[in-house]
Structure 1
């Protein structure tokens, strides 16, 4: 679990990032979760965009991501910022 200070730091790091995943009509599926986990292993911090035609609620998607072991840093509009510490390529040092 991240502290408020750590979340604030990660939000500032994520500000310039562009979303690399889009969740659409199919919703959040197992293959998408696997791909997000692989991207987090490489980058540690990513943005996920939720398209208008997505039938799932953004808070439900965030809950599913947290159940999969990822930290949801921020939900702003239709963008979810996700963090997971890398096992091999640790790049971000939390305060």
Structure 2
């Protein structure tokens, strides 16, 4: 289950994500177990990541992003075109302190 973010928290995370480059690329095979595991590992390291989805259809992109967020337990912060921003706090020693 993905955590719910307030509008202030989402705005703060969007600001932090602005300068980031995509860490995970979703290709033609779609969302696989290996991709979910790799995304979870990237979230554990960075907490806030950009994901680039290579799908031409908007509904397909939305479904892939939703499946990736659901599979990793991350919150979808933002989606613009084929780029999505995902956030999941670390269990121990979080890097990002969210505003209340």
> TM-score, normalised to structure 1's length?
0.90
**1:51 to partner: Cα distance:** 1.7
Cα distance in 1, alignment partners of residues 66 and 55 from structure 2: 19
SS in 1 for 2:22: coil
Cα distance in 1, alignment partners of residues 61 and 77 from structure 2: 13
| 1:70 counterpart residue number | 74
List gaps (5 residues or longer) in structure 1: none
**1:67 to partner: Cα distance:** 2.0
Q: How many residues align?
A: 94
| 2:89 counterpart residue number | 85
Cα distance in 1, alignment partners of residues 8 and 15 from structure 2: 11
List gaps (5 residues or longer) in structure 2: none
**1:89 to partner: Cα distance:** 3.7
Cα distance in 2, alignment partners of residues 52 and 59 from structure 1: 9
Q: Deviations over 1:52-75 (max 9, x none)?
A: 468x71210222123221101001
Q: CA RMSD in A?
A: 1.6
| 1:33 counterpart residue number | 36
Cα distance in 2, alignment partners of residues 37 and 89 from structure 1: 16
Cα distance in 1, alignment partners of residues 21 and 84 from structure 2: 11
| The one of 47, 55, 58 aligned to 1:44 | 47
**Is 2:28 the partner of 1:22?**
no
